[in-house]
Structure formats: structure tokens, C-alpha cells
Amino acid sequence: MPPPRIFLNTNFWIELVYSFVTLISCLVIYFKTNEIYKLSSHKGLKYFRLTFLFLGITYSLRFFARMFLLNLIFSGTMIPVRNFSGLTSFLLLYTNFMTLFYLLYGLSNKIVSKSLPESTDVLHMVAILLSSAIWFLNLRRIFILLNLPLMIYILYLGYLNYKKSKKKKASKFHIIYFLLVVFLMLNVFDILIPDFFRNLQNLIYLSSISIILIILYKVFKILSVDPNGKKE
């Protein structure tokens, strides 16, 4: 019996490996930081962890949306692919905005800790509103424009943190966060406007994975240091 058609498609394997590596990296960051969050109950840590949880979900949804676009799932069956594809894309937009919001919330914590509301219900509502507007009003092309202010705000927070820092040491991580958001946006845009980055797709995948792996490496590096000064 020949293998199912899906397994013969190279794109399927590229997408599967890409999504698997990003999802696992994000989940490792989320679970690896669980202990220090439980001990400290630090708000910034809480939102940092949620950022990576939502980032992992976003990349998983992206995988399914991509499979629908490549027509690799349910092709030739009676199941309406378009409905599934629409719902997945809507959820993808929602998790994309939540990832951005949690990242901004986490980074703002250092500057405006006391004025940040505990509940993030408003963020979820705004994310649903933005996703609905983009999806139902067919504003897919302005998706990048909606992300732009959030990206500029990340750089602005980096500047504020630098100004606040006594050692006047600029955090390298604001550049990493910025790149993380840029590549997340490109990944989602690629689903909204299929094959927009046709020739650049592999470069985007490689860059996205590299950024997440840099963060994962840094998380491991810090959390594997034994309090007595030895590596665990």
C-alpha cells in the first residue's frame, strides 16, 4: 500500500519540523521558568512565561493553517476545508496579538509595575476585536500596520529601561524581543496573504528558529547555574 499523499510532500516535512522545534522550544521556556515564578511570583516573569506559551500555540496554529493552505489536510474529503482554515486563521491572529500583548506587559512591568492592572481580560477583548476586524472585514493587508505601533513600543521600552538602568547598560534583549516580534509577524502574514514571501520563506523560518533558540539557550544558561556557583 503506498504511503498517504501527505507524507510524500516536502513542504509538509519542512513545516512539521519547523513547527515542532518552535513549539517545543516555547514549551521548554514556559515549563523551565515555572519554579522561579512560583518562588518569586514576579509579575514580569508571569507575562514572560505567558508570552512563550502563546507563541508556542501561535506556531502550532500556524502549522495547521499552513497545512490547510497547502491543501494537505482533508483534501478530497467532504469536510469543508475553507471553514476550518478560516477558524484557524482567526485563532492564529488572536494568539499572535496575545503574544505581543503579554510581551509588552512583561516588559512594561519594570517601568510601570504598580499601575499595571492585575486582570488581562481587556487584552483578550482587544485581541479578539482586532482579530475579528482583520478577518471578517478582510483587512489582512493592514495586519503589518497594526503590529507596527506595538513593535515600536518594544524599542521605546528598551530605551526607557536603558535610561532607568543605573549602569546605563543597554539590554541586548530588547533587540531580540524586537526581532522575535518581527519574525512572528512575518510568519502570520505569510498565512494571511499566502506565498507573499515565496522566495524568502526558508530564510524567515531559519531566522525565527534562531531567535527562539537564542532565548532558549539564555534561559538554560541562567537557570542551570547552581546557587553554589557550579553548573548543574
Partner 1 sequence: MGKRNRLKIIYDILNEIRRHKNSIKPTPLLRYSNLSFQSFSKYFDELIEKELIEEVVDKKDKTVIKLTNKGHEYLKKYKMITSFIDEFDL
Pick between residue 9 and residue 171 the one whose CB is nearest to partner 1: 171
Q: Is residue 170 classed exposed, middle or buried when 0-12, 13-18 and 19+ CB atoms within 10 A define those classes? A: middle
CA distance 16 to 11: 8
The reply to whether 222 sits near partner 1 by the rule CB under 8 A is yes
Q: Please identify, among the stretches 55-63, 65-73, 101-109, 199-207, the one whose residues bind partner 1 according to the rule CB under 8 A.
A: 101-109
Q: Please identify, among the stretches 34-42, 76-84, 118-126, 203-211, the one whose residues bind partner 1 according to the rule CB under 8 A.
A: 34-42
In the complex, the smallest distance separating the C-beta of residue 166 from partner 1, rounded to whole angstroms, is: 8
Task: Using alpha carbons, select from 135, 29, 17 the residue that is nearest to residue 82.
Answer: 135
Pick between residue 39 and residue 137 the one whose CB is nearest to partner 1: 39
| Angle, CA of 71, 79 and 20, to the nearest 5° | 45
CA distance 127 to 216: 26
Q: Cβ contacts of residue 144 below 8 Å, gap of 6+?
A: 185, 189
**C-alpha cell belonging to residue 175:** 533587540
Of these, 99, 109, 147, 208, which contacts partner 1 (CB under 8 A)?
109
CA distance 13 to 10: 5
The reply to whether 115 sits near partner 1 by the rule CB under 8 A is no
The reply to whether 231 sits near partner 1 by the rule CB under 8 A is no
The reply to whether 154 sits near partner 1 by the rule CB under 8 A is no
Q: Please identify, among the stretches 14-22, 56-64, 115-123, 167-175, the one whose residues bind partner 1 according to the rule CB under 8 A.
A: 167-175
Of these, 1, 39, 137, 145, which contacts partner 1 (CB under 8 A)?
39
Q: Please identify, among the stretches 1-9, 41-49, 124-132, 191-199, the one whose residues bind partner 1 according to the rule CB under 8 A.
A: 41-49
Intra-chain end-to-end CA distance of the chain, in Å: 50
**C-alpha cell belonging to residue 34:** 515555572
Local structure of 225: helix, strand or coil: strand
Residues making contact with partner 1 (CB under 8 A): 33, 35-36, 39-42, 44-45, 47-48, 106-107, 109-110, 158, 161, 171, 173-174, 218-219, 222-223, 225, 227
